[in-house]
Amino acid sequence: MADLEVFKNLSFEKVERCMSVMQSGTQMVKLKNGSKGLVRLFYLDEHRSCIRWRPSRKSEKAKITIDSLYKVCEGRQSDIFHRHAEGNFDPGCCFTIYHGNHMESLDLVTTNPEEARTWVTGLRYLMAGISDEDSLAKRQRTHDQWMKQTFEEADKNGDGLLNIEEIYQLLHKMNVNLPRRKVKQMFQEADTDDQQGTLTYEEFSVFYKMMSLRRDLFLLLMCFSEKKDHLTAEELGNFLRTEQKMANVTTEYCLDVIDKFEVSEENKTKCVMGIEGFTNFVRSPACDVFNPLHNEVNQDMDQPLCNYYIASSHNTYLTGDQLLSHSKTDMYAWVLQSGCRCVEVDCWDGPDGEPMVQHGYTLTSKITFKSVIETIDKYAFINNEYPVILSIENHCSIQQQKKIAQHLKEIFRDKLDVGELLNKESKTLPSPNSLKGKILIKGKRLPPYLSADVEEGEVSDDDSADEIEDDFKLKNSGSNGPSQHQVESYIRKKLDSLVKESQIGDKEDTDSFSIRALLRATHEGLHMNLKQNSNLKEGIKKSTSRSFISNLKHKRHSKSRFKSQSSDTEEDGLQEASGKDVGQPNRSGRRRKTIKLSRDLSDLVVFTNSVASQACLEESTPGNVLSFSEARAQQLVHHRAERLISFNQRQLSRIYPSAYRIDSSNFNPQPYWNVGCQLVALNYQTEGRMMQLNRSKFMVPSTRSVMTLSPAYPKKQLVLKIISGQQLPKPPDSMLGDRGEIIDPFVEVEIIGLPVDCCKEQTRVVDDNGFNPVWEETLSFTLHMAELVLVRFLVWDHDPIGRDFVGQRTVAFSSLMPGYRHVYLEGLTEASIFIHVTVHDIYGKWSPLVLNPSYTIMHFLGANKGRQLRGFRGLFNRTSKSTVDAHSGVPLRKRSISDHLLRRTASAPAKGRKKTKMGLSEAASDRKNSTVDPQAVQATHSAVERRVPPRPPLQHRPASMPLEKLLQGALALSSPNQEGPDPGADTMVEN
């Protein structure tokens, strides 16, 4: 990537020339897989916020926002350009735009090099400006862009003006349910120019401000201003100290806040803040629910490496599923800059002596090992100075292993040098601070009994390197490749046999890892990829290992036998599951696989030596890293949690997804974080609930991508007052889209942590108001281990047949800010909920402390080990609570005058009634024909409390559910009274 500083320093004339050309539009060829290219007109929109093109069947959705751009590359560097080699395009006319969370590429060809250079320069300049913004500037810019985009989309005839009918349609789209008389009155007040009957953009901005006046914030302001319509600097300081719990608030600070957020020049002169300035301040990043101090390193980084959670990626090179998707070096650049500190590199023998990176025995594409290492070297420490762990999965011959070692040493150079930290007598791992700028190679080491002059030796091959199941492997069968139909039929047959055999346990969540999801991956997602892989070169041959069905039966038998054993024989069962020493037969009579390892590669492994997954978890060298599949790790969590915690307090462990997750779905990482597993590897390319949890765990810029296991505190009581919502959109999967009815929102808060803490609570439903609904409800939660808790805010649209997902935001408990805060929904520009956060300490009966990095669990338990272990296991095995502890003994926070005011004046929800879905035209007709006085209706609604449907008890199930139950329940079509799944879950619907 070119240095962005260069583009910040371009002359104003050159920048404006680039912007002018881009906004005028340039005709370019858009390359796609399996096509000859499409000629389209690409242009930068007038707000310089997104790239658009036409013609397009996507109409308004045919755009890429500047915010989503990752990088712009000149020349023919992308995979698509390589596939179009026969096009013989001039490299000077080619460039690629990488964008989005999945590193999508837009590959373009201009008619001359000058046009390409103009676009590359202009886009890089825009990206440099965005990267240089502070949070407040970015918030203001995105708001301004949203306003302009909203105006343009409402302007149906494109005349730059909005008439009253266009305003009505816009308000319906924005979920505003106001009487037409009130809308018309505000419209007339805003329409002040000579062109009566329409609103310009400036007039629309005035209209929007009138419509958006926040009653809750106005009452809050009056509370602290002695019922005036403004705050003095002293009153603002009182609000910040009393409610926002800010310390050391000075008069100078308050005056600076007024100067920065107040709109009225008159108010600035008087050093007071009116409602508009107060609204700007409370909606700014300064009052976000996330602690701004956590945007920087705020923890002790001098503890041993095992005391930190480390953001980890699985099969980092893949862009999609595990069988047919593309491998890209750009994925390493993306995840590293996203905060990931452990990436995976699967190495296989390649042509011309150059090792390749790919998912072995599958049809995923290949990239060179050297290009991967060069990318990692370039991007490892751009946003983060802490160490990067390379998990090398070695399948190469000795000769190509030596090539791997050569590339690592030549490209990484002194980044691999940790000699000064190497102390064989040390019983602890080095700290992140001592490893700044270093790259650690995680892989196999030759046994210590081999003399130093031995060039190679045998090591076990029982780590995650061969993680894909034998019966999913697609092996070469000669030079003649299979047809598309053969490949598709083969993969479908494998998955269909899984369903018929019914032996795959649901590893975490029916929504994220069900057979339905796997079938969708096969019949839909993989089918699309097959179309893009019509020229397949590799054949298919069934594995020579035991049959697929007998393999599954064996797994089922082993699993049931494991569960029925006593505590003593459980240990043996775990040993069987994870194997013995190299060359030793396990109980099935098969010997462990071994591979030849080069001394050159072995010597590069220092602090992160991959060893067999010893079930006993006995103390060994701190540098030994154990890897477990999610199924093996799950067994340990259920049967050996205390031992796994004790192990993780001195060594590293890595958890990776099951081989059955061929759709690249993700398991729930929280159970493994609960027991201190540091390297919980997820498929970063798959968006959904699990990656949302992962982001919230490491929810800071890449300057801090690890979290310490802090000492345990007393229990906490988290009190959340859900006050109101702002600009909540219609559900993304709404059948009628913007024409659908106005939403009936409610908020659900989910606590995710130890099983004893996991629970959900929700507010009542507010009818027909997504623009400014008011709930004014208090939810309370008791947390036994608050440091592990993630707090997930979800907004749903209630309807008679269930609920539709609107949006979510997940925040670590430790990053919650007290007081009045806005929770902006992830991925939505303006949508938020307004809450008040209070945390109390609860002192009472002592619970066993877990996950303290300074001591082992046994040290805590002491002489009462037996009794305390039973209580300890209860924290992990107890059914998650569905309601909060009502007898905590801690009095609720006394209501302030602002609470009383807000509660007294909050709009009551509409009375219960059966809803009928209607489109925009029907709704408009219904309003038009209505003769009921809107004020009378509002008064009636305020007087009648809405009947809230009873909340069904939360259903909890073991982490591994037999498939028979899945087939009977989860795979059946949802009945009308069933709740829908959390759309944040990892289902193929999202992918």
Eight-class DSSP state of 772: S
The length of the chain in residues reads: 991
List C-alpha distances in Å: 431 to 307, 604, 706.
9, 19, 12
CB environment 251-267: b (16+ within 10 A), e (fewer):
eeebbebbeebbeeeeb
For the record, the structure tokens of 845 come out as: 């009966």
To 10 degrees, what angle do helices 398-412 and 369-379 make?
A: 20
Q: What is the DSSP string of 172-207?
A: HHTT----HHHHHHHHHHH--SSSTT-B-HHHHHHH
Q: How far apart are CA 796 and CA 763, in angstroms?
A: 10
Catalytic residue among 172, 359, 638, 798: 359
Query: SS3 breakdown of the chain: % helix, strand, coil, rounded to 5?
Result: 40, 20, 45
Dihedral of CA atoms 5, 11, 12, 13 in degrees, nearest 10, equals -140
Place of tokens 């929102």: 745
Q: How far apart are CA 675 and CA 720, in angstroms?
A: 27
To the query of whether residue 314 is one of the catalytic residues in this protein, the response is: yes
Q: Which residues pair with 803 in a beta bridge?
A: 798
Reference 563, options 635, 658, 645; nearest CA is 635
Q: How far apart are CA 657 and CA 672, in angstroms?
A: 12
Reference 971, options 500, 490, 556, 526; nearest CA is 500
Place of tokens 């002169």: 269
Burial class (CB in 10 A: 0-12, 13-18, 19+), 735: exposed
Q: What is the DSSP string of 380-416?
A: TTSS--S-EEEEEEE---HHHHHHHHHHHHHHHGGGG
CA angle 34, 40, 44 (to 5 degrees): 125
Catalytic residue among 84, 230, 294, 314: 314
Residue 186: phi, psi to the nearest 5?
A: -65, -35
Neighbours of 583 (CB within 10 A): 11
Whether the bond into 351 is cis, omega within 30 of 0: no
To the query of whether residue 784 is one of the catalytic residues in this protein, the response is: no
Residues known to be catalytic: 314, 359
